[in-house]
């Protein structure tokens, strides 16, 4: 049985005070959610204070990005994965489409970040997903497969249980336009097949594949009914403790 994951990606929203307030409000609302792993991803500056407030709770803290390099060094503006672990993170999101699009992250860069996250002992949520143009041209599966294979190259069998894949069609992010549960299911099943070919059937069966893109309290249940959807990566609807808690609670 794969334990679902509901992860909130706060993107570049909330200062330290607002992040703490949201995390503290969320904690009791999801305290009974044993059916899934609950993760929130605040901005870098809020990671440590939020992680401190959530210590001992069932809410895990994730970063939204990490450096490609694994050890400290002269890399102005970067934060290494081991520093995120030190700040109280258990997870890191890598390869989000906003990073691929605005910060020109390639699969090779994403792959280095995956390796860095794993080396630091973090669970890595690697995002993949096609743009609308790519889907319209019938390239959705080839793009997702390329991102999967490129981002997850060089992994050993022992790394695989700390990999989570998030399928986020770019056309569904922040647009209010969700993929239908059937569209998502089709791609999730495909991702699992690609993973099985690259690794093993057993690893593919244990892999958690999250859906992301305009997930809300009113569409999570339909998505979760699909056999290959193991949770969600939630942007906008994760910013308020109440709506995120509803998503967590409706994901049963
Ligand atoms: P959204 O964002 O839920 O606001 O569409 C999802 C994401 O980018 O992870």
- Per the DSSP assignment, residues forming a β-bridge with 37 are 5
Which is the closest atom of ligand 1 to the Cα of 216?
3
Q: What is the pTM of this model?
A: 0.97
- Tell me the C-alpha distance between 77 and 59, whole Å: 28
- Per the DSSP assignment, residues forming a β-bridge with 150 are none
Torsion of CA 125, 196, 139, 219, to 10 degrees: -50
- Per the DSSP assignment, residues forming a β-bridge with 17 are none
- Per the DSSP assignment, residues forming a β-bridge with 7 are 39, 233
How far is C-alpha 198 from the geometric centre of its chain's CA atoms?
A: 21
Question: Tell me: the pLDDT tens digits for 19-72?
Answer: 999 999 999 999 999 999 999 999 999 999 999 999 999 999 999 999 999 999
- Tell me the C-alpha distance between 182 and 225, whole Å: 10
Q: Ligand 1: which of 7, 99, 168 to mutate, judged by most atoms within 8 Å of the beta carbon?
A: 168
pLDDT at residue number 178: 83
- Supply the residue whose CA is at minimum distance from atom 1 of ligand 1: 235
DSSP state letters, the chain: -PPPEEEEE-TT---HHHHHHHHHHHHHHTTT-TTSEEEEE--HHHHHHHHHHHTTSSEEEEES---S-SS--S-TT---HHHHHHTT-SEEEE--HHHHHHS---HHHHHHHHHHHHHTT-EEEEEE---HHHHHTT-HHHHHHHHHHHHTTT--GGGGGGEEEEE--GGGTTSS-PPPHHHHHHHHHHHHHHHHHHS-HHHHHH-EEEEESS--TTTHHHHHTSTT--EEEESGGGSSHHHHHHHHHHT-
How high does pLDDT run on average in the chain?
Answer: 96
pLDDT-based confidence at residue 1 (cuts at 50, 70, 90): confident
Question: What is the Å distance from ligand 1's center to 173 Cα?
Answer: 5
Tokens of 246: 């509803």
pLDDT at 129 over 90: yes
Tokens of 1: 């049985």
In this structure, how many other beta carbons lie within 10 angstroms of the beta carbon of residue 204?
18
Question: Tell me: the pLDDT tens digits for 143-163?
Answer: 999 999 999 998 998 999 999
- Is residue 60 part of the annotated active site? The answer reads no
Question: Tell me: the pLDDT tens digits for 187-233?
Answer: 999 999 999 999 999 999 999 999 999 999 999 999 999 999 999 99
Distance of CA 48 to CAs 63, 69, 120, Å? 10, 21, 16
- Supply the residue whose CA is at minimum distance from atom 3 of ligand 1: 235
- Is residue 199 part of the annotated active site? The answer reads no
User: Which among 125, 143, 123 has a CA at the least distance from the CA of 134?
Assistant: 143
pLDDT-based confidence at residue 177 (cuts at 50, 70, 90): confident
Plot region of 94 (φ>0 → left; ψ -120 to 50 → alpha; else → beta): beta
């Amino acid at each position: 049985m794969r334990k679902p994951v509901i992860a909130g990606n706060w993107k570049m929203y909330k200062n330290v005070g607002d992040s703490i307030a949201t995390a503290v409000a969320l904690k009791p609302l999801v305290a009974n959610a044993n059916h899934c792993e609950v993760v929130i991803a605040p901005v870098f500056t809020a990671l440590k204070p939020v992680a401190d407030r959530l210590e001992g709770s069932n809410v895990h803290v994730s970063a939204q990005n990490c450096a490609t390099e694994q050890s400290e060094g002269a890399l102005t503006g970067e934060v290494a994965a081991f520093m995120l672990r030190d700040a109280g993170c258990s997870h890191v999101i890598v390869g989000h489409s906003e990073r691929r699009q605005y910060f020109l992250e390639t699969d090779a860069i994403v792959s280095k970040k995956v390796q860095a996250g794993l080396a630091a002992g973090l669970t890595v949520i690697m995002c993949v997903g096609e743009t609308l143009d790519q889907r319209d041209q019938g390239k959705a599966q080839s793009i997702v497969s390329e991102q999967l294979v490129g981002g997850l190259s060089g992994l050993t069998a022992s790394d695989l249980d700390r990999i989570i894949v998030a399928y986020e069609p770019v056309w569904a992010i922040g647009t209010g336009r969700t993929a239908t549960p059937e569209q998502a299911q089709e791609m999730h099943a495909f991702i699992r097949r690609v993973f099985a070919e690259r690794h093993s059937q057993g690893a593919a069966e244990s892999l958690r594949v999250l859906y992301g893109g305009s997930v809300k309290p009113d569409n999570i249940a339909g998505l979760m009914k699909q056999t290959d959807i193991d949770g969600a990566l939630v942007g906008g609807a994760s910013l308020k403790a109440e709506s995120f808690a509803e998503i967590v609670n409706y994901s049963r």
